[in-house]
Amino acid sequence: MQKMLEILALHGPLTTWGMAKVVLHDEKSGIRTKEKEYRRLLKGRKDRGKHSLAS
């Protein structure tokens, strides 16, 4: 969470995809994973290694 706040403080308003690109600008394959992690943190969900069912 602290890293997210640092990114937003330095770069202004960004989407979760934009925050992931700031952190992983050289690693294209890891951007999606990091973006999912940021989105989960913002929504207040925790990754417990389980998949949620789509409704």
Collect all residues with Cβ–Cβ distance below 8 Å to 8 and sequence separation of at least 6.
Answer: 14, 19
Q: What digits encode the pLDDT tens for the residues 10-44?
A: 999 999 889 988 888 777 778 888 888 888 888 87
Query: Where residue 9 falls among pLDDT bands split at 50, 70, 90?
Result: very high
Phi, psi values for residue 32, rounded to 5°: -65, -40
Q: What are the angstrom distances between the C-alpha of 8 and each of 1, 22, 54? A: 11, 10, 30
Q: Where are the domains of the chain?
A: 2-43
Residue 13 confidence (pLDDT): 92
What is the pTM assigned to this prediction?
Answer: 0.64
Distance, first Cα to last Cα, the chain: 28
